[in-house]
Amino acid sequence: MSKKVNEWLKELTLEEKASLCSGKDFWTTQDIERLGIPSIMVTDGPHGLRKQAGESDHLGLNESIKTTCFPSGVSLASSWDRDLLEEVGKALGEESQSEDVSVLLGPGVNIKRSPLCGRNFEYFSEDPYLSSQIAKHHILGVQSQGVGTSIKHFAANNQEYKRMNVDTIVDERTLREIYLASFETAIKEAKPWTVMSAYNKLNGVYCSDNHRLLTEILRDEWGYEGLVISDWGAEDDRIQGIKAGMDLEMPGNGGRNDQKIVDAVNNSDLSGEALDKVVARVLDLAYKGSEKQNQVTYDKKEHDDLAKKVASECMVLLKNDHDILPLSSDQKIAVLGELAVASRYQGGGSSHINPTYLHSALDSLQALGNISYAKGYNLSEDQVDDKLVDHALELVHSNDLVVIFAGLPERYESEGYDRSHMSIPENQLDLIDRVSQVSDKVVVVLANGSPIEMPWVDQVQGLLEGYLGGQAGGAAIADILYGHVNPSGKLAETFPIKMKDNPSSLNFPGKETKVMYQEGIFVGYRYYEAKEMKTLFSFGHGLSYTSFEYSNLSLDKDQINDTEFVTLSVDIKNTGNRLGKEVVQVYVKEMNPIVIRPEKELKEFVKVELKPGQIKTVTFKLSKRAFAYYNVDIKDWHVATGDFKLMVGSSVDQIHLERLINVTSTQVIKKVYTRNTSLDELKDHPVGKAMVDQVVGKIAEMMGGSGVIQGDALEGFIASLTLRNLLMFGGMSETELEGLIYQLNQ
């Protein structure tokens, strides 16, 4: 806390303090003129600046000033490129500085629990490690320019349905390993100026009134020193919110809660210290936020070029049979589908940006090749228009190859509501179907913010996931299709074959304002891998116009303690004849876990660029957290001593190399033995083991030496017994049993 903030705090009256606890209006904080306390501006976020000069709203309804629209979160994460995210963040910071905005409201890091969440386009991944890494570098980039961020929506806000009052019921381990983990690293390592508390309830308590979430976990455990801002209208009980550590209520509401705060302090329902803590953080933000750099400007064209470069790093080549791509300029190409012209390049709602330029895919393609175009379907409706299809089919016959633009119309996905299915409109399905019946040279380019079902996938030869690529997305698509850029994006989420395959599908979006996260930690690929389930496209998947070879995986140690780290290195070679980039992914599996653990968990990744024939050695350092699970008994991350498999691959289901490592825990967990402890929990106990052996002998004898129960069966039988059962099977007396339990606990 700066000296200035302390001075201000001393001078403020109770009424002034109360007024600082909420905004002045939609986008600014309260100023106190008499003390020179400034007001600062915050605006959305996350992939562009949505500064409204005229009427304010938080749904993206009213127009904002023109700024660069970078690719949406779903795209950015598919780059798997930390440096690129910092570059984007830096550009966003420059634009914020130049528009006098102090805090950019993003990034959004909620986990993609279901492909149906209407806001998935804004979020990064189904995997918390990837999501938090991407967020961290986004934040570092923005904040390097002296502009704050607001990591959101804290926490477990994974659907839009009833987002204002749904109660998310999630068990502690799942919360820590999946939903909070997506925030944790970014918050600890990038220190966002603000954290935005979510609309929903978490295990019965509104996130904005949640002391456990906002104080015990965020501040006491994670050491967060910044400010908590409420999502717009998320605060339910302002006094409870202050007690919980929710500092700034947004948007401003004409001081509706000010008197309540004053009264609460006066009648001792709220302590002056609790209020001061909140006010000090608001003052600190105002102080930091008002220290603007002078006269920052940015070059709109340069940022547009950056938006194009970024978009081309994010798109994912999902399929490329017989190397149908890249196109060559002497091929005659039929481009079909209204989405080629009316590009979808961002999602709807509060993140909606008014772009500085807009590159249509069709124009960009026409600049590079021999293109004819037919609309094929009406984007504004779902019904088939036979005339449009017939015209499209004529073009198919008179050209060498077809590129169909398909995807989700804007009305299908947005902030504020979820999808109810994963299909694209009927008229697009029909077009793909009829075209692919008469041509075996069909490429589909997708525009969507979240996975779709593709019953037609085997009927087409090429497939580019363009996602929502921002204002220059159309130009990036053309560059990739014509091979001016070699695609290098990888999926940050799984595409299931059908909606029902998704682990959340039985409990999404919940009933009666409650949603139970019953799939637990088995979110996304963690589930498909565990079930050995076929998916349409797996997590981490993405093709290139060149090929890569993995070799020489080595570890600097084959045994470590959980206080040490292991260095893993692997050689990657570009075996094709084009410059390309590969995302090398490291997954970890515990071999004999005592708790249920996923088959694979992403723990590291890096994107490397390689010239044809070039080999690079990449290295990773893995430490405790890569091997640990969240142990709810000790309320901490814990590595159980044992073997772990390290897998290096180009996607979760394309593992090329693997090695084992043994990790020894240095954490002593004092186990308490009771009458109801299972016998198999004593296997590693010096006293317990001898006792178990003895009982096994007795039981085998009791079974009459018949040999019916032996080997695995006997082991299973013993495992089902508890110490208490020794009274019956082990011929023990109560006193002997008590003595044994005493001994075990020494």
**C-beta pairs of 625-630 under 8 Å, 24+ apart in sequence:** 626/588, 627/562, 627/588, 627/590, 627/663, 628/562, 629/173, 629/177, 629/590, 629/593, 629/595, 629/597, 630/172, 630/173, 630/176, 630/177
Residue pair 85/73 in contact by the 8 Å Cβ criterion:
no
Q: How far is the CB of 309 from ligand BGC (least distance, A)?
A: 26
Residue with smaller CB distance to ligand BGC, 106 or 407: 106
Q: Is the dihedral of CA 149, 153, 159, 164 positive or negative?
A: negative
Residues in CB range of 647: below 8 A, 6 or more apart? 586, 587, 588, 589, 600, 655, 657, 658
Q: How far apart are CA 72 and CA 473, in angstroms?
A: 10
Binder among 12, 18, 39, 45 for ligand BGC (CB under 6 A): 45
| Residues near ligand BGC (CB under 6 A), total | 8
Binder among 80, 183, 206, 232 for ligand BGC (CB under 6 A): 232
Query: Position 502: which residue type?
Result: N
Q: How far is the CB of 515 from ligand BGC (least distance, A)?
A: 17
Residue with smaller CB distance to ligand BGC, 52 or 320: 52
Q: How far is the CB of 95 from ligand BGC (least distance, A)?
A: 17
Residue pair 588/644 in contact by the 8 Å Cβ criterion:
yes
Q: How far apart are CA 322 and CA 582, in angstroms?
A: 20
Q: How far apart are CA 139 and CA 293, in angstroms?
A: 18
231 counts as catalytic: yes
x/- mask, ligand BGC, residues 299-338, rule CB under 6 A, reads ----------------------------------------
Residue with smaller CB distance to ligand BGC, 227 or 583: 227
Residue pair 46/106 in contact by the 8 Å Cβ criterion:
yes
DSSP strand E in 88-164: where?
Answer: 103-105, 148-154
Q: How far apart are CA 565 and CA 559, in angstroms?
A: 10
Q: How far apart are CA 304 and CA 470, in angstroms?
A: 10
Place of tokens 């180009």: 650
Q: How far is the CB of 44 from ligand BGC (least distance, A)?
A: 5
Footprint of ligand BGC on 369-408 (CB under 6 A): none
Residue with smaller CB distance to ligand BGC, 352 or 597: 352
* Burial class of 533 by CB neighbour count within 10 A (0 to 12, 13 to 18, 19+): middle
Binder among 51, 58, 113, 589 for ligand BGC (CB under 6 A): 58
Q: How far is the CB of 106 from ligand BGC (least distance, A)?
A: 7
Q: How far is the CB of 419 from ligand BGC (least distance, A)?
A: 18
In 3D space, the residue among 304, 377, 376, 361 whose CA is nearest the CA of residue 327 turns out to be 361
Residue with smaller CB distance to ligand BGC, 160 or 590: 160
- Chain centre to alpha carbon of residue 47: 15
Residue with smaller CB distance to ligand BGC, 177 or 415: 415
Can residue 350 be called a binding residue for ligand BGC (CB under 6 A)? yes
Q: What is the DSSP string of 563-590?
A: TS-EEEEEEEEE-SSS-EEEEEEEEEEE
> 167: which 2 tokens?
């109660």
Q: How far is the CB of 176 from ligand BGC (least distance, A)?
A: 23
Q: How far is the CB of 27 from ligand BGC (least distance, A)?
A: 8
Q: How far apart are CA 129 and CA 730, in angstroms?
A: 48
The active-site residue, picked from 231, 258, 304, 418, is 231
Q: How far is the CB of 56 from ligand BGC (least distance, A)?
A: 9
Residue pair 232/141 in contact by the 8 Å Cβ criterion:
no
Can residue 231 be called a binding residue for ligand BGC (CB under 6 A)? yes
610: β partners: 580
Q: How far is the CB of 26 from ligand BGC (least distance, A)?
A: 8
x/- mask, ligand BGC, residues 90-129, rule CB under 6 A, reads ---------------x------------------------
Angle between helices 300-314 and 82-98 (to 10 degrees): 150
Q: How far apart are CA 526 and CA 144, in angstroms?
A: 35
DSSP strand E in 300-381: where?
Answer: 316-320, 332-336, 354-355, 370-374
Place of tokens 């302090």: 265
The radius of gyration of the chain from alpha carbons, rounded to an integer in Å, stands at: 29
Residue with smaller CB distance to ligand BGC, 44 or 529: 44
Can residue 51 be called a binding residue for ligand BGC (CB under 6 A)? no
Q: Which helix (H) or strand (E) holds 594?
A: none
Footprint of ligand BGC on 120-179 (CB under 6 A): 152
Residue with smaller CB distance to ligand BGC, 350 or 504: 350
Q: How far is the CB of 615 from ligand BGC (least distance, A)?
A: 44
The closest residue (CB) to ligand BGC is 58
> 256: which 2 tokens?
């509706």
Residue with smaller CB distance to ligand BGC, 48 or 425: 48
Residue with smaller CB distance to ligand BGC, 50 or 441: 50
Residue with smaller CB distance to ligand BGC, 415 or 604: 415
Query: What residues are labeled active site?
Result: 231
- Chain residues binding ligand BGC by CB under 6 A are 44-45, 58, 105, 152, 231-232, 350
